[in-house]
Structure 1
């Protein structure tokens, strides 16, 4: 299974690099392949064609860091893709029997206290994109996610199953791409996490949008960036998302959303905080009915 992921990743990345982009002379013959040939990747990486073919088949025992670096340079991988390649190679070359214990997903008490003490929307996300914990303002910000019938609250399930996500995310395609790329990166780091494997299998089965994106092998390792959110209670929000890994709990990260100054979002966040208090008291009616999951 892991060897197949390695083979497909290398093939997809090889197909994306044209000879011109790689700095090679224009081909003199008619090419039968899209992108680079195996021999061209091998030459760019400084290894033999036979060696590269074995790597693409998943025969990676004893592969050196310099060879991995050469392949990453030849295929023009970014940092997240380099890490994913290293993870796939590590998994393919592992001779350990059995499965390591899955990562812990409990949020430490001091992290929950930190969330509660923060005046900004703040939550804890794991490698499966489950929202493990959130302060009141984050729960108000993620109101449609909490209204969605799927549990646990999960950004990928919401994005691909709930029709409300199309309105909620200001740029749905960008958020869908990010969710898939994050899960792809997680699958390299945690290849035997049964919960992650079940989630990916479920998403591939139920959502054609997810399947299409999964086949591209795009990889991301960080959730930071700008989010455009169309909130059902306070309207359009432009937020900067900051991602803080929790080293003591690999796979968990704290997400902090801050308002973009030029977008006038600070006032809307203040209104949202007030709405959040009303929601806790049951005083704000739901802005819409529960959406039905989308199937692919």
Structure 2
């Protein structure tokens, strides 16, 4: 969820990650009590007054214009995903939330057909908060042990942090964990009132300290295709590339593809018949 004052929280977080030397500023007089740029330094880089910037951080001004946001994003060296996140936070802080889509509860028929069409490529349909709405047999078996959970608990991010098999399945596990939480932060900015998101963040913050720490770290990243390594208990090592297609209603079709002519292609063909995780 996006907490009250999320715009200021994000600005403070990113300000604390940049040292004066990185932006060509001298260290300045006096000892720095906290890491990163001082408020007055960031304000000067962005071309806004110190008082105005302080009001933004403290949530006293919640309606910065696009030009101000772009200037802050440039001064903070935000990438495209982080810049979009900053604009989304400001949009909601100004009381202009977009109309919430109804949460997906089932797979769209076209995507369900696609799950079967791409076999034996492991594939899933995920909600915005990464609930596994549907999967083909290879996709279900790739996430070793997730079939042990009832359908309503099958969530990719919950699996990464809670299921014991995930720690050895994803190589390296830490990278997958960071990507999941960074993606969830973008969902939080786009739909801050989502009860599904609030429940998932609260649950994982309570049961997984690593999730709570990554959530506080506040990385922002939109999930896109990536090379992933797996150490699967049934078929061994796999190198797969994910492709992600997002439908207008927010459902995401995710497929993990092997390179043609590689042992990985043979391995995915065996996934549906691999022994269940014990």
Question: Please, what TM-score do these two structures have when normalized by structure 1?
Answer: 0.86
1:50-69 counterparts in 2 under 5 A? 50-69=51-70
Gaps of 5+ in 1: 277-283, 289-296
> Contact (CA 8 Å) 1:233, 1:272: kept in 2 or not?
yes
- Give the C-alpha shift of residue 61 in structure 1: 4.1
Contact 1:234 1:272 in 2 (8 A): yes
Partner of 1:5: 6
Distance (whole Å) between structure 2 residues aligned to residue 78 and residue 95 of structure 1: 24
Residues 38 and 175 of structure 1: CA distance in aligned 2, closer, same or farther (over 3 Å): same
Asked whether the equivalents of residues 128 and 196 of structure 1 are also in contact (C-alpha less than 8 Å), the reply is yes
Mapped partners of 2:42, 2:3: distance in 1: 21
C-alpha distance in 1 between matches for 2:220 and 2:241:
21
Secondary structure in structure 1 of the residue aligned to 2:255: strand
Q: Residue 26 of structure 1 aligns with which residue? A: 27
Q: Secondary structure at the match of 2:200?
A: helix
CA contact (8 A) 2:172 2:229 kept: yes
Q: How does 1:188-267 map to 2 (within 5 A)?
A: 188-246=189-247, 248-250=248-250, 252-260=251-259, 264-267=263-266
CA shift for structure 1 position 184:
1.1
Residues 1:270 and 2:260 are matched in the alignment:
no
Secondary structure at 1:191 match in 2: coil
3-state secondary structure, aligned to 1:127:
coil
Structure 1 residue 29 displacement after superposition: 3.1
1:46 to 2:50 alignment: no
1:57 and 1:86, CA in 2 relative to 1: closer, same or farther beyond 3 A? same
Distance 1:64 1:287 in 2: 53
Q: Aligned Cα RMSD in Å?
A: 2.2
Cα distance between partner residues in 1 of 2:74 and 2:246: 27
Q: What SS is found at the alignment partner of 1:151?
A: helix
1-structure distance, mates of 2:261, 2:12: 43
Matched, 1:117 2:113: no
- In the TM superposition, residue 261 of structure 1 has moved relative to its aligned partner by 5.3
Q: How far apart in 2 are the matches of 1:181 and 1:57?
A: 24
In 2, Cα distance between the equivalents of 1:93 and 1:262? 53
Give the deviation of 1:272 after TM superposition: 2.1
CA distance in 1 between counterparts of 2:164 and 2:106 reads: 29
Q: Compared with structure 1, are the counterparts of its residues 102 and 60 closer, same or farther at alpha carbon in structure 2 (3 Å cutoff)?
A: farther
Tell me the secondary structure at the aligned position of residue 215 of structure 1: helix
Aligned length: 276
Q: Counterpart of 1:280? A: none
Shift of 1:220: 1.4
Checking the alignment, whether the CA contact within 8 Å between 1:102 and 1:194 is kept in structure 2 is no
SS in 2 for 1:51: helix
Q: Is the 8 A contact 1:148 1:158 kept in 2?
A: no
2:106 is aligned with 1:106: yes
Deviations 1:272-296 (CA, angstroms, capped at 9, x unpaired): 24x16xxxxxxx4x341xxxxxxxx
- Paired residues of 1:245 and 1:254 also in contact (CA < 8 A): yes
SS of equivalent to 1:20? helix
Q: Shift of the alpha carbon at 1:259?
A: 1.0
Q: In structure 2, how many angstroms separate the alpha carbons of the residues matched to 1:150 and 1:230?
A: 24
What stretches of structure 2 of length at least 5 have no aligned partner? none
Contact 1:59 1:93 in 2 (8 A): no
